[in-house]
Amino acid sequence: MTNLSVARPELVALKAYQVPDSQGMVKLDAMENPYLWPEELSAEWSSALTTLPLNRYPDADSAELKETIRESMGIPDHLSLILGNGSDEIIQMLSLLLAKPGAKVLSPTPSFVMYGMSAMIAGMEFVGVPLYAKDDFALDLTQMLAAIELHQPALIYLSYPNNPTGNLFDKQAMIQIIEAAPGLVVVEEAYQPFAGDSFLPLVSAYENVLLMRTLSKLGLAGLRLGFAVAHRKWINALNNLRMPYNINTLTQYTANFALKNISVFDQQAKLIVAQREILTGALVSRGLKVFPSAANFILVKVGAGQADAIYAGLKSRQVLIKNLHQADSETEDCIRVSIGKASECSQFLIAYDDVMSVICG
Ligand SMILES: *Cc1c(COP(=O)(O)O)cnc(C)c1O
């Protein structure tokens, strides 16, 4: 008989991250780019795949890909770079690096769920500081500084723009947090392709900042590639615990190829941003509160008590979104909708109107 009592009870009891079945659905739940590559590009990519030496281990240092990332993202030479199997893996590495007994992780809430989950898995305490729901989810600087003073967190996460609220935090407030932090501050830029702003130019000035990006939201979610930029000491320490071949040969090749053709993705990002504004307008004209977004999704406040029924009604009409409603939480009555193609946004609106005509009788 296997005896699970040897395992850490908090992990045995944990509810794993839930990914809903999306077969046949209009998929507006996970901030994916709805567009594929142009045919010529796809053909050029796939013909090169047959030449890759899959019998060999990948380049453990991903040297060529790192060089391409430096060029396409404008990363200065004096900052170091580390790659992860998605930014999720880098979040996990950060937890492992910083999980001294008693060490704490702090982030505003609501924010990316993996911050809390990864902290917990590493045995760190997570401290959440609520954003101002009444002020479009701005940072509560007073509370953030008080929590930093009280808890002395080893690790602070600031998602810029924030998921699931979509907003860019005030940069001066972020700088005050960075200057007050006793440990590392991670600025996560998963949505940078849609944001029109970045913290990258400020990383050099702060030895305790690590900036993280991913190719997932840009249009390569299936590839699993994230990266982090920071002063050398942090990247060297992370490298000590990185699995040597964490970025496989297919990912290294494909990401390198894609970034050499970054203009294709930039164009797609422009279409998504334009569509975001159209969908926002359509929902505002239906009397809904749409929070300002610098990302490829929008957070929408629906009628009081209606979010669960709207989510279920949309799902039964083959439209999948994210339901963030929880009574008495910061996202009470809120849903999150990723921006799809124009046709997908139309399908969402038609389904929404249909659901509302049922709910309102
Ligand atoms: C989507 C998202 C990620 C996940 O990135 P991967 O590279 O796909 O692991 C990380 N951080 C934030 C804030 C996100 O919204």
Dihedral sign, CA of 212, 216, 221, 225?
Answer: negative
Give the global pTM: 0.96
Q: Which residue CA neighbors atom 2 of ligand 1 most closely? A: 190
Q: What is the pLDDT of residue 20?
A: 84
Average pLDDT, the chain: 96
Select from 104, 115, 111, 182 the least CA-distant residue to 140. Answer: 111
Q: CA triplet 220, 222, 226: central angle to 5 degrees?
A: 60
Is it the case that residue 3 has pLDDT exceeding 90?
A: no
Verify whether ligand 1 is closer than 6 Å to residue 94 (CB atom): no
Supply φ then ψ for residue 328, to 5 degrees.
60, 20
Judged on CB neighbours under 10 Å (0-12, 13-18, 19+), 217 is buried
- The least confident of 11-20, 78-87, 308-317 is 11-20
Is it the case that residue 360 has pLDDT exceeding 90?
A: no
Verify whether ligand 1 is closer than 6 Å to residue 87 (CB atom): yes
CA distance 313 to 126: 34
Verify whether ligand 1 is closer than 6 Å to residue 157 (CB atom): no
Q: Which residue CA neighbors atom 11 of ligand 1 most closely? A: 190
Cα(361) to centroid of ligand 1, in Å?
Answer: 39
Q: What is the pLDDT of residue 127?
A: 98
Position 222, amino acid: G
Is it the case that residue 1 has pLDDT exceeding 60?
A: no
Is it the case that residue 2 has pLDDT exceeding 80?
A: no
Rg of the chain over all Cα atoms, to the nearest angstrom: 21
CA distances from 21 to 70, 137, 210, 298, 319 (A): 36, 30, 34, 22, 12
Cα(214) to centroid of ligand 1, in Å?
Answer: 7
CA distance 62 to 245: 9
pLDDT tens by residue, 106-142: 999 999 999 999 999 999 999 999 999 888 999 999 9
Position 178, amino acid: I
Select from 135, 138, 105 the least CA-distant residue to 120. Answer: 105
Is it the case that residue 250 has pLDDT exceeding 70?
A: yes
Verify whether ligand 1 is closer than 6 Å to residue 214 (CB atom): yes
Q: How confident is the model at residue 166 (pLDDT cuts 50, 70, 90)?
A: very high
